[in-house]
């Protein structure tokens, strides 16, 4: 369905239209769900190119698409690129949506997950564990403020924070 929609948009509005970027991002999300992370990244990159050309580097869609791409890079075990993209996404999303938006919390969560993986890959060296803890704390606060302290995501963050705080004790 998305491919048909993309063909229609390209035919009527052109490949560089922001409507095409939304569809490309959605195709990337489908590829991500199917486990085709490399393909997903290609679609996210194409969507990013269009949005950057049309709206500039600080548009909220750039942040959303970078967050999606960063997550795909992380699942593809490319944590360095994931961390870089997620940091960019976070700054753009905070700038556009505010520091207490649920989308910002999702980006904080993804960054926490990536930092935890980077810490493990580094053999427990460096500051990525405390960075992960900070991101999970920020995400927990946002979710608690927006959805309530009893929301299941807050329980998830409590578990992740416990892991960060006790990782080196095991």
Q: 70-120 pLDDT, tens per residue?
A: 999 999 999 999 999 999 999 999 999 999 999 999 999 999 999 999 999
86 CB neighbour count, 10 Å cutoff: 29
User: What is the 3-state secondary structure of 3-32?
Assistant: HHHHHHHHHHCCCCCHHHHHHHHHHHHHHH
Q: Which band of pLDDT confidence, cut at 50, 70 and 90, is reported for residue 15?
A: confident
35-41: long-range contacts (C-beta < 8 A, 24 or more apart)? 37/72, 37/73, 37/75, 37/76, 38/76, 40/68, 40/69, 40/72, 41/69, 41/72, 41/73, 41/76
Contacts of 85 (CB under 8 A, 6+ apart): 66, 67, 69, 70, 73
Q: How confident is the model at residue 124 (pLDDT cuts 50, 70, 90)?
A: confident
pLDDT in tens, 130-152: 999 999 999 999 999 999 999 99
């Amino acid at each position: 369905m998305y491919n048909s929609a993309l063909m229609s948009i390209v035919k009527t509005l052109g490949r560089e239209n922001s409507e095409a970027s939304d569809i490309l991002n959605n195709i990337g999300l489908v590829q991500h769900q199917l486990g085709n992370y490399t393909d997903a990244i290609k679609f996210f990159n194409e969507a990013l190119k269009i949005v950057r050309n049309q709206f500039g580097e600080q548009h909220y869609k750039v942040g959303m698409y970078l967050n999606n791409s960063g997550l795909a890079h992380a699942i593809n075990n490319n944590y360095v690129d994931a961390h870089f993209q997620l940091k960019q996404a976070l700054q753009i999303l905070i700038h556009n949506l505010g520091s207490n938006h649920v989308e910002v919390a999702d980006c904080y969560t993804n960054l926490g997950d990536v930092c935890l993986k980077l810490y493990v890959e580094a053999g427990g060296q460096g500051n990525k564990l405390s960075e992960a803890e900070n991101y999970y704390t920020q995400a927990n606060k946002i979710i608690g403020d927006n959805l309530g302290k009893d929301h299941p995501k807050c329980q998830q963050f409590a578990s992740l924070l416990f892991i960060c705080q006790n990782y080196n004790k095991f």
